[in-house]
Structure 1
């Protein structure tokens, strides 16, 4: 029984309690202290009981319980936090050792990612015995079976049969160099696939992120897009909740991957409702009204419809994320969508939980104490401009919070006289959140919300007179969290401090939808500002040398390795002092001082006739440090430690250790994700043995290594396995617009790869 302070004090004789009340209660205060210590002891006793079970024990107890059953430790990954699941299932693993369901469960538990195990020997074409005919095991493809043809390129669900491949599926035995320039695929599996001893383990790198009840992007009266900024993007399937361990083998619906047109056309009910849904004019659209169609752009001078939709139907293209209403249906006044998109990490503006950041950050940590609170979309603040106007009227030193609810889209022009004013010592937070029906007018949840701002946003700092002792007044503080900005953010005026986290500043300023590369800066600093980016996706940054910039777990994308990703306010001179960690920079960088660069990929190069001496150019080389980074050729940096390539002056060494990505197109699931042909030196080149770049924090390298460690332990004798990750193959680059006779097509900042092909006119190829 718990002994609280009231119970302990009541056990004393009444005479002592009476005297204690006359004396001011010192004895009662002593009982309060004793009761608090009793609570500590009681909680410790209860935890000792909980520590006897793997499901409830403390993390430090897990290795001790594992030692009782002979468990060998593996890498601790961010996905699983600890090895609790594997220790809990170890006895189950051993009881089912050698079975596919055991291998599947082991791979999922140690990697924290969806896994599917394929016994490749079941797909070998053999001469059948008349005593045991297998009608489904055919040697030729049935070209009328679209469900089979759709999965030919998907190695996990390919049901076609193949002839024998005698090459091994296990990673080849080779002499490993340090650093290792071999591609990642060589370290995960061999070249063979279809053989008697072959077992393949497939892991999915992307996870689905659910967007619920968001406004669709309007193309015209009958055409819409799922993307809030109008990009083409594949829609992902949402796997059901995982059942009991070892219950069944996984199927297509148990893994998150893009929905194909073929599978959506054949069985729309498998995906519609669970993975995507439409609401037109406040009425949910039933699955019977949905059809699948290829809504790709047609070659039409008039810009007509994407396709002809059957009467009474609403067409959805899951591969492009497009919607089109039939011509006989009334044009809807509003369309709201629910869907899932794929991405590898909680990065940029998204629906993931941001409580860990905002609950410990002023002024969102204590909303009740904020002097100014505005919920955009309510009657006092119908739009963001009205909330900004009232904030600008607040006295200096105020704290304010402007909340953008859920996934709404706001068209803004907060520049010039409409800009946000930030006086000295003031604190303003512009955040996305989900208002709660219960808990008061300021009850918010930092989850399932990512508002979109379409337009430019200016922040002007307002100076204050110095303090009586002569010290300058405290700078204003700006917090932006959980927002997708399709425009340019400019910080000017008096010095201020800007903390941007979990945001997306669209690379290309909104022009990415037409496939053109845009190099205009997404963030501009014209004053003495301290800028901090954490878990953000941003376009180029133009920062005055008077300020300072810190980037962590972010992507800075100039849309081309030849464009400027970081420089001064004029786009050429040296930018502000830069501190960057665990990030990926696509484009050229010029900074005055690189105070620290750690676990970062600088993917840039100089173009033909480029005036820059190097794609990474630091003016001051006597101070700062670059460690565990991937650098471009002839990079001008301060002292380096364990960086790649080993010889920056050797073009062959630079090419051998150059990073490779699945795609660098913003909006794709594999955006900035290392591909299967990336050198192992980059895949394992971070300070803790993980991969270099923005996905350093998800510990993907450790997760895949765990599968490779456990796979031989649970494979049957004489069998061998290989690990395949999805996606791994680099996506093809989109074709640029064709060149005309009198004018070349738009170039990408002097990208020398196709420079000769862009010359127009007769005989251009001879130049």
Structure 2
């Protein structure tokens, strides 16, 4: 831990500081020492950094290969964390070279992916030699042993079909069944059961856990189904139905990852403790191979005291006193047709979970209990995503206490303490003389209606209510939270003061506008349930940004387009919604203010998922590591592809703003005035008005009607195959490049890594690094097979 810096003056004996204060004028010695304090501090900091560079845990990134040279390790490239971990564990891995634990630890150090190693020779079927029979205990056949049941897998026997949970393990990393030898050549992602083969299963998707949230009761039934006509007394009289996602969208439930790389010697990854999708059949308690306690926990909470949080991927919290002391049973089920009921019938105190689409039903005995669940049931759930693009509950640094040299006014919002905390924090912001930081410390839904009378200071202009700003505004998610902001009306931002009454006042207002920034960080922003009733069709989430900067970091501006769960044909998606339509001029009703507004607003999106952006040329657009989704995929007809980025007027006849891009994925057409950058993937046409300026590097273009500036190191769809694992917003692998994608797209982007929004994850480096290390650590004759699970 870095020690607190002590100034030279504070190091003096206290008697000298007292005498210095008594001098006329006072603090002469303090002023004298301040002259050399900066130089002394620089020397002190340099000496301290030299000491830290002696240790791999604290050294600067450039020192890592030099420490590696002392240990004789070959040089790798990629993420500094993985390089540091690789060098730190070099000696430990060499001591355990050839063991499964060493391979798993090595793989984790180089990738931070979930992994599990299996010696496939152990899964081969075998027959006894008649001259050297291995008798069973007591000479009885296997099924005669007391420990063996009809569900037990006998190595070398036939596959057991009686237990779906056990059968679900077939051809998975934890397959208990025996297989015949597979002599076919190695193919990426295929399991080849053979003597020399070592299967290394990899979970590449990240598992993100949402904190305390409230599920959505089924709107069609208000969450309660009266089942009181059931004749037997064992079935539930009432059934409550919930969507796990607070907005009712489909969500694939994942389990949490519980591998501990710090344990020595390393412990192998265990079944049901990997960061993958929760298997439905293993949630059933009645199954011999079911393990619901590994995935689900149930607890009772009261009005006081913190909730008990376990390691399970899915956690339910039932309200006290209605359910205190109850015992519950769990069942994995397909709830796609939950309106028709379950077979067998749901019992009282039984919970059925569908982890594939994110639904749960709970059987209870009284309407009072049903109402208690609808009103007070809380959840913690885990879902999967490729990486931290969009709003996710990730670790964040503490909020800055200064902004542009001014101390900030910090406001904390917690839904559990005040459901209207966000609205209250935004009231009177038009008069603030300090930048405002609003930090949301929960993962609940915050309703925001900018026309609410409680939001004092909202100005009706440009066709709606505007948030007036006298200083910068930052709204951010707290560490490990993902709050949802549901809008009733689109967001509009403008300065409080634009036109001054005299030159001095105008100069003051210009200085404020030159630094006026709105930053949204880690927020999931979507539309309210009555959005369509109060706004014209196609109304975007943000329609005005009369500012110097609009910064959107790590956010999701809900683009729509997720899979429908209403019984429509398979593959049908919800409609795509635009996220921004920002026009020029800048929306001031007063012509004098329009003329006085002297900024060129900059729209900055960083690691954000958004719907279509329609922005006029009077702005500047900066896109980094983001996905812009207009719903047009790789296989869609280019003639019918819709616009992802264009002007605020007719998209086919107007041009979007000058843009700078770095590592973006665009599902749709893009039409802008000018562009430069690198690492982009344009699934459909990119048109640039001024193609005499700018340069694009290491990017993918569709090759269909593109109008491009000069480009270098780029590939086109006419010569390179592009494919995503999923193009549907909300799917775990949304935006992930498939392994069949042309290697130039996967490995020849910026910094010799992947193009697109997830290039910063440096997956190509990870693949290269583990192959290099496997050649060094793998025992002679062992053939590693890399098999991605997700």
Do Structure 1 and Structure 2 share a fold, with TM-score over 0.5? yes
- 2:326, 2:198 → 1: CA distance? 39
Query: Which residue of the partner structure matches residue 461 of structure 1?
Result: 494
Task: Call closer, same or farther: CA 1:576–1:285 in 2, change over 3 Å.
Answer: farther
Confirm or deny that 1:204 pairs with 2:223.
no
Counterparts of 1:252-291 in structure 2, within 5 Å, are 252-265=271-284, 266-273=290-297, 274=311, 275-281=313-319, 288-291=327-330
Task: Call closer, same or farther: CA 1:602–1:397 in 2, change over 3 Å.
Answer: farther
Equivalent of 2:247 in 195, 216, 229: 229
Confirm or deny that 1:638 pairs with 2:656.
no
Confirm or deny that 1:75 pairs with 2:94.
no
- 2:747, 2:485 → 1: CA distance? 36
Confirm or deny that 1:566 pairs with 2:566.
no
Equivalent of 1:715 in 778, 784, 789: 778
May I ask how many residue pairs the two structures share in their alignment?
A: 665
SS of 1:326 mapped into structure 2: strand
CA drift of 1:537 comes to 0.6
Confirm or deny that 1:483 pairs with 2:523.
yes
Deviation readout 1:197-225 (Å, 9 max, x if unpaired): 21122221112212121111222322112
Task: Call closer, same or farther: CA 1:292–1:15 in 2, change over 3 Å.
Answer: closer
When structure 1 is superposed on structure 2, of 328-337 and 61-70 the one drifting more is 61-70
- 2:183, 2:432 → 1: CA distance? 75
Counterparts of 1:722-761 in structure 2, within 5 Å, are 722-727=785-790
Deviation readout 1:112-152 (Å, 9 max, x if unpaired): 22222121222222333343469642153111243432122
Does structure 1 conserve the Cα–Cα contact (< 8 Å) formed by 2:682 and 2:701?
Answer: yes
- 1:89, 1:311 → 2: CA distance? 52
Confirm or deny that 1:596 pairs with 2:613.
no
CA drift of 1:497 comes to 3.0
Query: Which residue of the partner structure matches residue 530 of structure 1?
Result: 602
SS of 2:384 mapped into structure 1: strand
Does structure 2 conserve the Cα–Cα contact (< 8 Å) formed by 1:533 and 1:550?
Answer: yes
CA drift of 1:566 comes to 1.4
Counterparts of 1:386-405 in structure 2, within 5 Å, are 387-388=425-426, 390-391=428-429, 394-395=430-431, 399-405=435-441
- 1:430, 1:410 → 2: CA distance? 12
Query: Which residue of the partner structure matches residue 726 of structure 2?
Result: 663
Query: Which residue of the partner structure matches residue 742 of structure 1?
Result: none
- 2:331, 2:427 → 1: CA distance? 46
SS of 2:128 mapped into structure 1: coil
Does structure 2 conserve the Cα–Cα contact (< 8 Å) formed by 1:388 and 1:420?
Answer: no
CA drift of 1:710 comes to 0.7
Counterparts of 1:360-509 in structure 2, within 5 Å, are 362=403, 369-370=408-409, 373=411, 375=413, 382=420, 384-385=422-423, 387-388=425-426, 390-391=428-429, 394-395=430-431, 399-414=435-450, 417=460, 421-423=466-468, 426-433=471-478, 446-461=479-494, 464-465=498-499, 468=503, 473=510, 474=513, 476-487=516-527, 488-492=540-544, 494=546, 497-508=549-560
Does structure 1 conserve the Cα–Cα contact (< 8 Å) formed by 2:204 and 2:788?
Answer: yes
Task: Call closer, same or farther: CA 1:494–1:54 in 2, change over 3 Å.
Answer: closer
CA drift of 1:374 comes to 7.2
Deviation readout 1:444-470 (Å, 9 max, x if unpaired): xx4424233254422043572267398
Query: Which residue of the partner structure matches residue 310 of structure 1?
Result: 347
SS of 1:659 mapped into structure 2: coil
Task: Call closer, same or farther: CA 1:99–1:581 in 2, change over 3 Å.
Answer: same
Does structure 2 conserve the Cα–Cα contact (< 8 Å) formed by 1:272 and 1:287?
Answer: no
SS of 1:709 mapped into structure 2: helix
Give the TM-score normalised by the residue count of structure 1.
0.77
Give the TM-score normalised by the residue count of structure 2.
0.75
Task: Call closer, same or farther: CA 1:86–1:133 in 2, change over 3 Å.
Answer: farther
- 1:396, 1:716 → 2: CA distance? 67
Q: CA RMSD in A?
A: 3.7
Equivalent of 2:168 in 147, 150, 166: 150
Task: Call closer, same or farther: CA 1:664–1:70 in 2, change over 3 Å.
Answer: same
- 2:467, 2:165 → 1: CA distance? 59
Equivalent of 1:620 in 687, 690, 699: 690
Does structure 1 conserve the Cα–Cα contact (< 8 Å) formed by 2:20 and 2:30?
Answer: no
Does structure 2 conserve the Cα–Cα contact (< 8 Å) formed by 1:690 and 1:700?
Answer: yes
Task: Call closer, same or farther: CA 1:546–1:88 in 2, change over 3 Å.
Answer: closer
Query: Which residue of the partner structure matches residue 621 of structure 2?
Result: 549
CA drift of 1:228 comes to 2.4
Does structure 1 conserve the Cα–Cα contact (< 8 Å) formed by 2:473 and 2:517?
Answer: yes
- 1:40, 1:87 → 2: CA distance? 29
CA drift of 1:385 comes to 4.8
SS of 1:93 mapped into structure 2: helix
Task: Call closer, same or farther: CA 1:601–1:4 in 2, change over 3 Å.
Answer: closer
List runs of 5+ in structure 1 lacking aligned partners: 172-184, 434-445, 605-614, 728-767
- 1:19, 1:304 → 2: CA distance? 84
CA drift of 1:695 comes to 0.7
Does structure 1 conserve the Cα–Cα contact (< 8 Å) formed by 2:393 and 2:481?
Answer: yes
Task: Call closer, same or farther: CA 1:490–1:76 in 2, change over 3 Å.
Answer: closer
Equivalent of 2:387 in 345, 351, 365: 345
Query: Which residue of the partner structure matches residue 587 of structure 1?
Result: 668
- 1:323, 1:541 → 2: CA distance? 36
CA drift of 1:373 comes to 4.8
CA drift of 1:30 comes to 5.5
Query: Which residue of the partner structure matches residue 227 of structure 2?
Result: none
Task: Call closer, same or farther: CA 1:18–1:495 in 2, change over 3 Å.
Answer: closer
- 2:31, 2:170 → 1: CA distance? 75
Does structure 1 conserve the Cα–Cα contact (< 8 Å) formed by 2:613 and 2:644?
Answer: yes
Query: Which residue of the partner structure matches residue 251 of structure 1?
Result: 270
- 2:342, 2:488 → 1: CA distance? 28
CA drift of 1:63 comes to 2.8
SS of 1:465 mapped into structure 2: coil
- 1:304, 1:337 → 2: CA distance? 25
CA drift of 1:584 comes to 0.8
Query: Which residue of the partner structure matches residue 738 of structure 1?
Result: none
Task: Call closer, same or farther: CA 1:509–1:26 in 2, change over 3 Å.
Answer: same
Task: Call closer, same or farther: CA 1:246–1:168 in 2, change over 3 Å.
Answer: farther
- 1:16, 1:261 → 2: CA distance? 73
When structure 1 is superposed on structure 2, of 66-75 and 570-579 the one drifting more is 570-579
List runs of 5+ in structure 2 lacking aligned partners: 137-141, 143-153, 224-239, 285-289, 298-310, 452-458, 528-539, 567-571, 587-600, 634-640
Equivalent of 2:179 in 154, 162, 181: 162
SS of 1:637 mapped into structure 2: coil
Task: Call closer, same or farther: CA 1:408–1:548 in 2, change over 3 Å.
Answer: same
Does structure 1 conserve the Cα–Cα contact (< 8 Å) formed by 2:317 and 2:377?
Answer: yes
Does structure 2 conserve the Cα–Cα contact (< 8 Å) formed by 1:278 and 1:285?
Answer: no
Confirm or deny that 1:679 pairs with 2:751.
no
- 1:412, 1:629 → 2: CA distance? 39
- 1:334, 1:15 → 2: CA distance? 60
Query: Which residue of the partner structure matches residue 62 of structure 1?
Result: 64
- 2:746, 2:759 → 1: CA distance? 9
Does structure 2 conserve the Cα–Cα contact (< 8 Å) formed by 1:512 and 1:518?
Answer: no
- 1:361, 1:17 → 2: CA distance? 34
